[in-house]
Amino acid sequence: MILAIQGIKGSYHHQVATNLYGEEIELIECPNFTDIPPLLKGHKADKAIMAIENTIAGAILPNYNLLDEFNLHILGEYYLPIQHQLMALAGQNIKDIREVWSHPMALEQCRKYFRPYPHIKLIEAKDTAEVAKIIQEKQLIGIAAIASVKAAEIYQLHIIADGIQTHFSNFTRFVILSAEKGSEKPNYNKASIKFSLSDQTGSLLSALQVLKSNNLNLSKIQSLPIIEKPWEYAFFADMIFTDVMQFEKAISELIPMVNELKIFGKYEHKNSFRI
């Protein structure tokens, strides 16, 4: 299997990939999320792993746009507990560190840890694992990374402090993507959709009442502006249900009420699984 991820080996995307599919996968490492959809559409990757939201930082809005723009399909989801480690070359401790490099989200999630160390400057970087790799390759003294245990193992860095995130209920939700619609699971219990509405009083409320009347649990709703239509919005929604027929009924009732409706995926709501 050829799998595209954002980041390099040792990144949290890599951790999800190996948790799901093992170590024998062939990875395509992408510097940016925007590099992933063309790989899927060009059939250079079979599937992709993409972070979509975090319990602390919220939704990754540009990634919702990528799903929509490239008509990608969600095959499933994976929730990864994020544990941030502070790491550097061996023989150093926190007093030796002058700068800490990491992804902006990781820095933000660990900012409180560094308050007692005003001498340390926090520097934003593109990828957590890439920083760990650079520190090892260039033998950088006085520079530390915030990254995963897997990154420390791969790039042979010493963990100065583990679990430095402010909140321990820190999870990132990743989606497993493909260019084509996958085989539908007979027991799917979650779906991700996008719909847009006319700018009329109560239009969103009416749509939500359809979901409620069909016993669908709206686990996520996110509005995004429609670029070509100023002040109009599309809504991305995740819903969980126990009765597939009620979901299908809700969709049939929504179609005449909305301007557009797109189903990104129907899948199992589980913490980990193989697809």
Query: What tens digit of pLDDT does each residue of 227-262 get?
Result: 788 777 899 999 999 999 999 999 999 999 999 999
Q: Is the pLDDT of residue 186 over 80?
A: no
Going by pLDDT thresholds of 50, 70 and 90, the confidence category of residue 185 is: low
Closest by CA position to 89, among listed 124, 129, 164, 140: 140
Query: What tens digit of pLDDT does each residue of 138-183 get?
Result: 999 999 999 999 999 999 999 999 999 988 888 999 999 999 887 6
**Joined tokens for residue 168:** 């321990």
Q: Which domains does the chain have, with CATH numbers?
A: 2-82+170-178 (3.40.190.10), 85-162 (3.40.190.10), 190-267 (3.30.70.260)
- pTM for this entry: 0.90
Predicted local confidence at residue 184, as pLDDT: 63
Query: What tens digit of pLDDT does each residue of 75-93 get?
Result: 999 999 999 999 999 999 9
How far apart are alpha carbons 134 and 113 in whole angstroms?
A: 23
Strands (E), the chain: 2-6, 26-30, 47-54, 58-59, 73-81, 85-88, 99-102, 121-124, 143-147, 158-162, 171-178, 190-196, 217-225, 233-240, 260-267
